[in-house]
Chains A and B, each alone.
Chain A
Amino acid sequence: MNLPRIIACTTRYLYLYKRSLPRLMEVFYWPLLDLLVWGFVSTYLSGYKGTLPDFVSFFVGALILWDILFRCQQGISVSFLEDMWSRNLLNIFVSPLSPLEYVVSLLVISLVKLVLASSVMVAVAWLLYSFNIFTFGVLLVPLVANLIIMGWSVGIITTAIILRYGQETEVLAWGIAFLFQPVSAVFYPVSVLPPAIRAVARFVPSSHVFEGMRRIIRDGTLPVEELAWAFALNAAYICFAIIFFSWNFREVKKKGLLSKVGE
């Protein structure tokens, strides 16, 4: 691992965002719209005082956390697409930068985008819905860490697939996270899922994160078991992602596809 090279590669993406309004919009626009719509929906519904306490917190908290996972995955895949579209992959991979260093620079840039988008969301949630995410306190750290790791894993796998199968699979960069949304039990407890899907959800780290979040809001206690599940699953996810990427990269070089990506 060579830090200066990783920094150089990351700077590349930052230059992109410096001047491009559409790209900056992409960072802020969707999260803000999501937050506005769902925030108002939950404010409205909370007027019908039901059995659910803290209705707004459940919803808005879930939305902000979900966006963390989504941004991380997308931050990686879309940055890779930028390289693909600009037909720059060959130049990158004839430099001494290793594939692993390349992936790390994608992770760094996804964090930068995440911090930008999340700060805006957190601020707006606080202003509009008086929802202060920091009431989670230090418990926020393991929740967020798990979502980031899962987002990275899914992002790395998506990138590997696009690298191998080309343009037709580009849509995965935007769509794949939604495949995980129903089983992540973002806005409802896992218990409402039918048994078959519940079984799947058990092996999706994010479902444990959101269960944990609801536990914190409801009881204010540390959801030890949920967090343990999430961390264990995530360790497996990220290992699989890295192995899958390396294997796939070797296959791509065997098939001589590096010069063809994006065509």
Chain B
Amino acid sequence: METVVEARGLTKEFNGFRAVDNISFDILRGEIVGLLGPNGAGKTTTLHMLLGLTTPTAGDIRILGRNLEKDREEILSRVNFSSSYVSLPYSLTVWENLSVFAGLYGVKRPGEKLKGLIKTFEIEDIKDSATRKLSSGQITRVSLAKSLLNDPEVLFLDEPTSSLDPDMADRTRKLLKDIKEKKGLSILYTSHNMKEMEEMCDRIIFLDRGKILAEGRPSEVMREFKGASLEEVFLKIARKEKTCFDGADG
């Protein structure tokens, strides 16, 4: 299988504080990899380094076989990103916002593409509303539509479903899985929804304080940490150090 993302010795220091500490991993074509870990573990920082938004302190990144620093433009036109923390210009309508990004990604026949995505994410009724009037769940859907405009080969998603209702979240997961099956889309995914991670991910990477604590299929990781679910594993890992600390304290 072809490797689409290759991170080697990736490290990010902010004023001497190591947010990401020498991590290495691969993502294969058609693979969904979940990045999980407590708040502040370094998930977002890792995603931002892979997208060229943050420069690593050390380490190498290759995406689609190319060097991120040298071939930024080529790489970025073949990947995409969505985050529940990033918004779209409020004064523009949904249609306007999407068509601007279609232009930025050089989408051929943008009209057709937009119509298709608007239908997929069921945002037909709000396509002419100003983005300011949308609920956060609706903005998330528009943002996801944006992230599929250029038929990306790799998708970076930072807590993409956190503001969707269970029904829409479920359908989004199905849609992403479907694109993965049909087109070999690879996804690097962060989420605090452990059930979602179990269901979606071929592989998970558990980050804690910038380091990889565990890596493997969800079932393998669950076995390794003797948890019945990822949620249990997460709680075990996240609370382990805390319990030690509590013990020492009391």
Residues on A facing B (Cβ under 8 Å): 2, 4-5, 7-9, 11-12, 15-16, 19-20, 82-83, 86-88, 90-98, 250, 253-256, 258-259
Known: A8-B104, A256-B12. A94 touches B55 (CB 8 A): no
Is B136 positioned at the interface, with any CB of A under 8 Å from its CB?
Answer: no
- Pair A259/B48 contact, Cβ less than 8 Å: yes
Is B83 positioned at the interface, with any CB of A under 8 Å from its CB?
Answer: yes
State A212–B54 Cα separation when bound (angstroms).
46
State A23–B55 Cα separation when bound (angstroms).
35
Residues on B facing A (Cβ under 8 Å): 12, 14, 19, 44-45, 48, 51-55, 72-74, 76-77, 79-81, 83, 85-92, 96, 99-106, 130, 143, 146
- Pair A94/B76 contact, Cβ less than 8 Å: yes
- Pair B14/A256 contact, Cβ less than 8 Å: yes
- Pair A94/B103 contact, Cβ less than 8 Å: no
Known: A12-B92, A19-B91, A94-B80. A256 touches B45 (CB 8 A): yes
Known: A12-B100, A15-B96, A259-B44. A88 touches B89 (CB 8 A): yes
- Pair B81/A90 contact, Cβ less than 8 Å: yes
State A97–B105 Cα separation when bound (angstroms).
8
- Pair B53/A94 contact, Cβ less than 8 Å: yes
Max chain B Cβ within 10 angstroms of own Cβ: one of A2, A7, A12, A94:
A94
- Pair A8/B100 contact, Cβ less than 8 Å: yes
What are 15 A-B interface contacts by the 8 Å CB criterion?
Answer: A2-B106, A5-B104, A16-B92, A19-B130, A86-B89, A88-B88, A93-B52, A94-B81, A95-B105, A96-B73, A253-B53, A256-B12, A259-B53, A259-B85, A259-B86
Known: A91-B146, A94-B51, A95-B76. A82 touches B89 (CB 8 A): yes
Pick the contact of A86: B12, B14, B90 (CB < 8 A).
B90
- Pair B106/A93 contact, Cβ less than 8 Å: no
Q: Is the interface of B mostly helix, strand, loop or mixed?
A: mixed
Pick the contact of A5: B72, B87, B88, B106 (CB < 8 A).
B106
- Pair B54/A9 contact, Cβ less than 8 Å: no
Cβ–Cβ < 8 Å partners of B74 in chain A: 96
State A8–B85 Cα separation when bound (angstroms).
23
Pick the contact of A96: B86, B91, B106 (CB < 8 A).
B106
Cβ–Cβ < 8 Å partners of A7 in chain B: 103
Pick the contact of B55: A82, A83, A254 (CB < 8 A).
A254
- Pair B91/A87 contact, Cβ less than 8 Å: no
- Pair A95/B104 contact, Cβ less than 8 Å: yes
Cβ–Cβ < 8 Å partners of A256 in chain B: 12, 14, 19, 45, 48, 53-54
State A254–B15 Cα separation when bound (angstroms).
10
Max chain B Cβ within 10 angstroms of own Cβ: one of A8, A82, A87:
A8
Shortest distance from the beta carbon of B129 to any chain A beta carbon, whole Å:
12
- Pair B103/A8 contact, Cβ less than 8 Å: yes
Cβ–Cβ < 8 Å partners of B14 in chain A: 255-256
State A11–B100 Cα separation when bound (angstroms).
7
- Pair B55/A96 contact, Cβ less than 8 Å: no
Pick the contact of A20: B55, B91, B102, B104 (CB < 8 A).
B91
Cβ–Cβ < 8 Å partners of A86 in chain B: 87-91
State A97–B89 Cα separation when bound (angstroms).
17
- Pair A91/B101 contact, Cβ less than 8 Å: yes
Shortest distance from the beta carbon of A151 to any chain B beta carbon, whole Å:
24
Pick the contact of A90: B53, B55, B96 (CB < 8 A).
B53
Cβ–Cβ < 8 Å partners of B146 in chain A: 91
The residue in chain A whose Cβ has the minimal distance to the Cβ of B90 is A86
State A15–B85 Cα separation when bound (angstroms).
23
Cβ–Cβ < 8 Å partners of B101 in chain A: 8, 91, 95
Pick the contact of B103: A5, A82, A87, A254 (CB < 8 A).
A5
The residue in chain A whose Cβ has the minimal distance to the Cβ of B146 is A91
Known: A88-B86, A88-B87, A250-B55. A96 touches B48 (CB 8 A): no
Known: A9-B100, A259-B53. A96 touches B88 (CB 8 A): no
Shortest distance from the beta carbon of B75 to any chain A beta carbon, whole Å:
8
- Pair A253/B91 contact, Cβ less than 8 Å: no
- Pair B104/A96 contact, Cβ less than 8 Å: yes
What would 9 more interface pairs be, CB under 8 Å, given A19-B130, A83-B89?
A11-B100, A12-B100, A16-B92, A86-B89, A93-B53, A254-B54, A254-B55, A259-B53, A259-B86
